[in-house]
Structure 1
Amino acid sequence: MRLVRLAERLSKATMPVDNLTLAAELGVSVRTVQNDLKTLRSASSEHGFLLLTKRGVGSTIRISNPGAFDAYLQRLRMGSEINPSELPQLVLQVLAIQTDYVSAESLAQTLGVGRTAIIAALDKAESLAKEEGFTMERRPHLGVRIKGEFTTRVSFLTTRYANNDCFMRNVVDSSLPDVFSHIACELRHNLAAAGIYVNYPEFNRLLSLLKVLVYMQVNGLGQRDSDDSCGPQEPVQARTSLVFDLISAIQEATDVKLSSAAITYLNEVLCRLTDGMQRGGYELKGEIAHMMGDFLTEWDSSHGTTYMQDNAFRTMLLNHLALLISRLSRNVAYQCAFGEELTITNPSNVDLALLICQRLQECFDVEVTDDEISLVTAHLAAHNERERQNRLRDFARVAVACTTGAGGAYLAKLQFEQIFPVADVRTFSYLDIEGIKSFSPDLVLSMIPLGSSIKAPVIKISEVLSQEEISNINEVISYGELQDGKTSVSQTKIPFRADFFRRLTPSSEINHYTSVVSRMAKELVDCGLAQSGFHDLVLEREQYASTVYLNGVCIPHPMEPVGNQDVVSVCVVEHGLTHGSKEVCLIFLVCLRKEHINMYQPIARRLYALMRNRQLVNRLMSVVDGREFIQVFEWAEVNYAD
Structure 2
Amino acid sequence: MTILLRELMAADTALTSRYLACVTDVSSRTAREDIKQLDELLEGAHIESIKAKGYQLTIHDNQQFRSYLKNAYQEKPLDDPVIPNSPEERVRYLMKRLLLEDSYVKLEDLSEDMHISKSTIQNDLKHVKQILKKYEIVLDKRPNYGLKVKGSEFKLRFCMSEYVFERDKKAEPPNQILTDQLDSLTEAQLSKIWTIIIEEIKANEITPSDIAMNNLFIHIAIACKRIKSGHHVSIYKINLDEIRNQKEYAVADRIVAKVEECLQLTFPHEEVAYIAIHLMGTKMISQTNMKEEEIGKVLDKDIYQVTLAVLNRIEEKFDLNIRHDRELIVGLALHLKPAINRFKYGMNIRNPMIDDIKSNYPLVFEAGIAAGMVLEEEMGVAIDENEIGYLALHIGAAIERGKIKQGPKRCLIVCASGFGSAQLLKYKLQSEFDSKLEVAATTEYYKLQQCPLEDIDFIVSSIPIPDLLPIPVIEVNTILAEKDLEKIETMVFKNTVRMFDYVKENLVFLDQPFSTKKEVLTFMCKELEDKGLVDDRFQESVEEREAVAPTAFGNLVAVPHPITPQSDQTFLTFCTLKKPIQWGEKRVQFICLLSVKKGSTEDLQSMYEMLGGIIDDISLVQELIKSKSRYDFTQLLLSKS
Partner of 1:521: 525
SS in 2 for 1:392: coil
1:242-641 maps to which residues of 2 (within 5 A)? 275=221, 279=274, 285-294=300-309, 296-297=311-312, 300=315, 306-329=321-344, 338-364=353-379, 366-392=381-407, 404-415=418-429, 421=435, 425=438, 430=443, 448-450=448-450, 457-458=455-456, 461-464=459-462, 465=474, 466=484, 467-468=486-487, 471-472=490-491, 475=494, 478=495, 492-493=499-500, 495-503=502-510, 505=512, 508=513, 510-531=514-535, 533-594=537-598, 598-635=602-639
AA partner of residue 546 (structure 1): P
Note if contact 1:565-1:592 (Cα within 8 Å) is conserved in structure 2: yes
Preserved contact between residue 344 and residue 605 of structure 1 (Cα < 8 Å) = no
- What letter matches 1:551 in structure 2? N
2:539 and 2:607 mapped to 1: Cα distance? Answer: 20
Sort the Cα spacing of 1:332 and 1:137 in 2 relative to 1 into closer, same or farther, 3 A.
Answer: same
Letter in 2 for 1:463: S
The amino acid that maps onto 2:300 is K
Cα drift, residue 323 of structure 1: 3.7
Q: CA deviation at 1:603?
A: 3.5
Question: Residues 317 and 183 of structure 1: is their aligned pair in 2 closer, same or farther, counting only changes over 3 Å?
Answer: same
1:206 aligns with: 170
Is the Cα contact below 8 Å between 1:566 and 1:591 reproduced in 2?
yes
TM-fit CA distance, 1:622 = 1.9
Alpha-carbon offset, residue 584 of structure 1: 1.2
Match of 1:107 in 2: none
- Structure with greater Cα Rg: 1
Per-residue CA deviations over 1:207-257 (Å, capped at 9, x if unaligned) read 5899xxxxxxxxxxxxxxxxxxxxxxxxx97864478999xxxxxxxxxxx
> What SS does the aligned partner of 2:534 have?
coil
- 8 Å Cα contact 1:518/1:539 also seen in 2: no
Distance 1:417 1:547 in 2: 43
Offset of residue 379 of structure 1: 2.7
- The aligned amino acid for 2:459 is I
Q: Secondary structure at the match of 1:611?
A: helix
Cα distance, 1:539 vs structure 2? 1.8
Aligned AA (2:461)? E
Could you tell which deviates more after superposition, 607-616 or 552-561? 607-616
Q: CA deviation at 1:469?
A: 5.8
SS at match of 2:83: helix
Contact 1:400 1:413 in 2 (8 A): no
Q: CA deviation at 1:392?
A: 0.9
**TM-score when normalising by structure 1:** 0.50
Aligned 8 A contact 1:501 1:571 in 2 = yes
Aligned runs of 1:64-103 on 2, under 5 Å?
Answer: 88-89=79-80, 92=83
What is the deviation of 1:541? 1.3
CA distance in 2, matches of 1:357, 1:529: 29
Identity %: 16
**Distance 1:518-1:95 versus aligned 2 partners, 3 A rule:** farther
Which residues in structure 2 correspond to 1:165-244 (within 5 Å)? 179=155, 205-207=169-171, 240-241=191-192
Structure 1 match to 2:22: none
Q: CA deviation at 1:583?
A: 0.7
- Cα deviation, residue 554, structure 1: 0.6
Change (3 A) 1:598 1:429: closer
Query: Structure 1 residues 240, 385: closer, same or farther in 2, change over 3 A?
Result: closer
SS in 1 for 2:550: coil
Question: How many angstroms apart in 1 are the aligned matches of 2:487 and 2:334?
Answer: 37
- The one-character-per-residue Cα deviations of 1:576-633 (angstroms, maximum 9, x if unpaired) are 4112331111111112334655444334333333333444433322222322222333
Secondary structure at 1:584 match in 2: strand
The aligned residue for residue 225 of structure 1 is none
CA contact (8 A) 1:447 1:461 kept: no
Partner Cα distance (1:291, 1:417) in 2 = 46
RMSD: 5.8
CA shift digits 1:98-133 (9 cap, x unpaired): 99xxxxxxxxxx9xxxxxxxxxxxxxx9xxxxxxxx
Equivalent pair of 2:560/2:591 in contact (CA under 8 Å): yes
CA distance in 2, matches of 1:446, 1:376: 50
Query: Which amino acid in structure 1 is aligned with residue 221 of structure 2?
Result: D
Contact in 2 for aligned 1:402/1:446 (Cα 8 Å): no
Q: Note closer, same or farther for the CA distance 1:418–1:392 as it changes in structure 2 (3 Å cut).
A: farther
Q: Distance in 2 between matches of 1:360 and 1:302?
A: 16
One-letter identity of the residue aligned with 1:411: L
Question: C-alpha distance in 2, partners of 1:447/1:179?
Answer: 63
3-state SS in 2 of match to 1:574: strand
In structure 1, give the amino acid aligned to 2:568.
N
SS state of the match for residue 368, structure 1? coil
How much has 1:383 moved relative to structure 2?
Answer: 3.5
TM-score by length of 2: 0.50
Instruction: Tell me, in whole angstroms, the C-alpha distance in 2 between the residues paired with 1:511 and 1:497.
Output: 25
**Letter of the 1:378 counterpart:** L
Deviations, residues 540-586 of structure 1 (Å, cap 9, x unaligned): 21111110111221111122333334332111122241123311111
Structure 1 residues 544 and 429: CA distance shift in structure 2, 3 A:
closer
Separation in 2 of the partners of 1:520 and 1:595?
23
Contact 2:413/2:461 (CA < 8 Å) preserved in 1? no
Q: Residue 415 and residue 618 in structure 1: after superposition, are their counterparts in 2 closer, same or farther (change >3 A)?
A: same
CA offsets per residue over residues 170-198 of structure 1, 9 Å max, x none?
Answer: x999699974777799x9xxxxxxxxxxx
Secondary structure, counterpart of 1:293 in structure 2: helix
- Partner of 2:507, secondary structure, is strand
State how far apart, in whole Å, the 2-side matches of 1:536 and 1:524 are: 13
- List per-residue Cα deviations over 1:18-66 (Å, max 9, x = no partner): xxxxxxxxxxxxxxxxxxxxxxxxxxxxxxxxxxxxxxxxxxxxxxxxx
The answer on whether the counterparts of 2:411 and 2:460 sit within 8 Å (CA) in structure 1 is no
Residue identity in the other structure for 2:562: P
Q: For residues 398 and 630 of structure 1, do their structure 2 counterparts lie closer, same or farther at Cα, with a shift above 3 Å needed?
A: closer
Paired letter, 1:572: T
Distance 1:366 1:284, change over 3 A: farther
Q: Report deviation, 1:358.
A: 2.7
Comparing 540-549 with 174-183, greater Cα deviation is found at 174-183
Query: Structure 1 residues 289, 88: closer, same or farther in 2, change over 3 A?
Result: same
Instruction: Give, in whole Å, the separation in 1 of the partners of 2:399 and 2:166.
Output: 26
Letter matched to residue 353 of structure 1: G
User: 1:595, 1:470 → 2: CA distance?
Assistant: 32
Question: Aligned AA for 1:628?
Answer: D
- Shift of the 333–94 alpha-carbon distance from structure 1 to 2, 3 Å rule, reads closer
Aligned-partner residue type, residue 636 of structure 2 = V
Q: Which runs of 5+ in 1 are unaligned?
A: 1-68, 100-109, 111-124, 126-135, 155-170, 188-200, 211-235, 247-267, 432-444, 481-490, 638-642
TM superposition shift of 1:329: 4.5
